Amino acid sequence: MESDRRTFLKGAAAVSAAPLFVPQSVWGANDTPSYALIAAGGRGHYLNRNFQKLGARCVAIAEVYEQHMQEALKDSPAAKPYEDYRRLLEQEKGIDFVVLAGPDHHHCPMLLEALAAGKDAYAEKPLSKTLEESARMAAAVQKSGKIVQIGMQRRSAASIIQAKELVDTGVLGRITMVKPQWHWNVARPLNNSPLPGKLNWKLFLGSAPQRELVPMRFRYWRYFWDYAGGNMTDQGTHLMDVVQWFTNSGPPKSALCYGFVAKDEGAEHPEVFSAVFEFEGFMATWTLDYCNSFQNGWSITFMGDKGTMILDESGYRVWDEPWKANKPPIHEQKAPVPIESHIENFLDCIKSRRQPNCPVEVGQRAVAGPHLANIALQKGTQAHLDADMVKVRLG
């Protein structure tokens, strides 16, 4: 085991001597991939800029809200605009892949339609809105043979990959507790003032329950059960994936959860919650508070009988046992989690036809625990997940 650590540290030193990521296109000047952006809200706008920065060309955009479309066209003026993504998929034959960035309740239908049109896809997390959708999506991707990358960029971050390799050497010993958390002081009453510009509310609703337009439901769709799993699945998908990845485990066996709406007046999903997950041989507590900035941002603490690792936005640190105040870490790496490396991995895979770093199966396992915790929260009891990652037993 000690020789494994020495080998790891030698490699880590070489990595830390140079930047962990240097953006560069994997496509030649005469080999530019074309793509369609489906949903151009905040995340879609961000992804569109980064795909173009890495050498891809946006040729079509589907968006239901006029203002979002106009902003996207500033970055991609040659792109053809569509209001309905289904018309885009029917008419645009010259695209190599699609970027899917719609609300959670559109994730399943958008991916299934893209696969039916024969397209590879970069699909935003969380994979699905429900456990049943996850299973449908995983089966459809496997049947299609298409390349699908789920937008969980930690899977392509060099510092996190390096931390995983270090954990695999046994530096933490037996892991008994893992504590993912996310703290931001951003909660406030939801803005329900009239929306400027034109919105196709019917297309936004899609398969969701039909109701009259309520502006805050569009602005903050993530906070309503009709459209999303809240911060539980949004941020929880990222962090619970790392928990399961580092511990070589599948989804949790059961979950308990408590949470409440503190300051996000008008929201249905809580912005303060804590979920407890039962795994084989260890437990995890996933806690989020958007009313406080102590230890601002995300972090994951892995606690073992030989050491402790903290992962966060700045990198990772490891302390050996016994812990003492002001004790320096025995391993440390400072590095960000860039979106560019995840996009580059996808672009490389649609050329090579290799599986990407975050295929749909990883996305399914990652969101299973957060979905389970939401069920426990809504039902007010412990929720148990069957091995098929679909059936749930209560109590």
Give a three-class secondary structure readout of 144-162.
HCCCEEECCHHHHCHHHHH
Neighbours of 121 (CB within 10 A): 27
Residue 167: its pLDDT value, please? 98
> pLDDT tens-digit profile of 167-202?
999 999 999 999 999 999 999 999 999 999 999 999
Q: Which residues contact 247 (CB under 8 A, 6 or more apart)?
A: 175, 178, 279, 282, 302
Q: What is 155-338+350-394's CATH number?
A: 3.30.360.10
Q: Is the pLDDT of residue 24 over 70?
A: no
How many angstroms separate the CA atoms of 153 and 313, rounded? Answer: 12
Nearest alpha carbon to residue 217 among 247, 198, 190, 178: 190
SS3 of 182, please?
strand
> pLDDT tens-digit profile of 333-377?
998 899 999 999 999 999 999 999 999 999 999 999 999 999 999
Tokens representing 96 are 């190599």
SS3 of 117, please?
coil
Q: Is the pLDDT of residue 25 over 80?
A: no
Neighbours of 373 (CB within 10 A): 29
> pLDDT tens-digit profile of 227-272?
999 999 999 999 999 999 999 999 999 999 999 999 999 999 999 9
> pLDDT tens-digit profile of 190-237?
999 999 999 999 999 999 999 999 999 999 999 999 999 999 999 999
Nearest alpha carbon to residue 104 among 190, 207, 181, 18: 207
Residue 336: its pLDDT value, please? 86
Domain extents in the chain: 21-153, 155-338+350-394
As a dihedral over the C-alpha atoms of residue 149, residue 153, residue 156, residue 159, rounded to 10 degrees, the angle is: -170
Q: Is the pLDDT of residue 30 over 60?
A: no
> pLDDT tens-digit profile of 78-134?
999 999 999 999 999 889 999 999 999 999 999 999 999 999 999 999 999 999 999
Tokens representing 248 are 């070589």
SS3 of 278, please?
strand
Place of tokens 């009891």: 381
In Å, how far from its chain's centre is CA 249?
Answer: 18
Residues 21-153: name the CATH superfamily: NAD(P)-binding Rossmann-like Domain (3.40.50.720)
Nearest alpha carbon to residue 208 among 305, 307, 126, 107: 107
Decide: residue 320, CB within 10 A, 0-12 exposed, 13-18 middle, 19+ buried: middle
As a whole number, mean pLDDT of residues 150-163 equals: 96
> pLDDT tens-digit profile of 291-332?
999 999 999 999 999 999 999 999 999 999 999 988 999 999
Same fold, 21-153 and 155-338+350-394: no
